[in-house]
Amino acid sequence: MRNVIIILVCLCIILPANAAKLAIIIDDIGYRLTDEAALTLPQNITLSVLPHTPLGQKLANDGYKKGHEIMLHLPMQALNGKALGPGGLTNDMSESQIKQQLQSAFKSIPFAKGANNHMGSLLTQMDDPMLWVMQSLKQQQLFFVDSVTTKYTKASDTANKLGVPLLRREVFLDNDVSQHGLEKQFTAMIKKAKQQKKLVAIAHPYPETIRYLHANLDRLADNGIVLVQASQLFDDIHLATSSHTNPTATLK
């Protein structure tokens, strides 16, 4: 009995009841050999992998084996007309095309528990495409992280209406990969996490970002912040994995 009490006391010290929770998602994974460096980060870092990429399936498998949570980084059409790469969703696609493309994208990335949009400043503003995406995610019991690449995004509202578990990106860590830029955003992330208690930040597998995170993640605990996988920001919901690991599931 005494040992149990000691363990419980220690857990309270390690994870205070008022601790803020922070999820850091590393996305844009799948094309470069250097992306593998993201797997050297702590397992509570979430990895979001681009579909149909040369290294995507391997890195998703390897990351999962190391304890990382895996997401699909789903390409969506941007206002700037930038090429999406394979698996992208565009505004000229029908409902069936979007849902089939989404199914194919999830099949290419094993163990994905959710998705966030890659680009998407155009498509996330559109009602029908967002409805079709969220219907598919709802059916699969998968969650969505709105990367908020435009302030006019309708992805979050649509997810909420359909009951799709939703998170929103609050901070981009590495739009500027200089030491000053990374420090500025990391400090802002800590401040927001302490204020909001739950926060999502997105970063990329740039060598500068990986080095910076290795050197600075310890500062989170010093500020009463617990680093968690993205799905751990949800309370009391059941999440599945993608149809790649659940062959009986289908998207309609």
Give residue-wise pLDDT tens across range 40-75. Answer: 999 999 999 999 999 999 999 999 999 999 999 999
Of residues 13 and 127, more confidence is placed in: 127
- The answer to whether position 31 is within a domain reads yes
CA distance 250 to 247: 8
Task: Give the per-residue pLDDT at 245.
Answer: 43
Is position 22 within any domain?
yes
195 found inside a domain: yes
Structural domain count of the chain: 1
Q: Look up residue 149 and give its two tokens.
A: 């690449």
Q: What percent of the chain has pLDDT over 90?
A: 83
Instruction: Work out the mean pLDDT of the chain and round it to a whole number.
Output: 90
Q: Report whether 114 contacts 72 (CB < 8 A).
A: yes
pLDDT of 25: 98
Among 133, 141, 146, CA closest to 25:
146
Minimum mean pLDDT range among 177-181, 186-190, 231-235: 231-235
- Note whether residue 246 is domain-resident: no
Residue 159 located in a structural domain? yes
The CATH number of residue 99's host domain is 3.20.20.370
Give the predicted TM-score (pTM) of the model.
0.88
Is residue 87 a part of any domain in this protein?
yes
Full domain range(s) for residue 67 = 17-233
pLDDT at 92: 96
Write phi, then psi, for 172 (nearest 5 degrees): -95, 125
Q: What is the DSSP letter of 3?
A: H
Contacts of residue 217, defined as CB under 8 A and 6 or more positions apart, other chains included, come to 41, 42, 227
pLDDT number for residue 158: 97
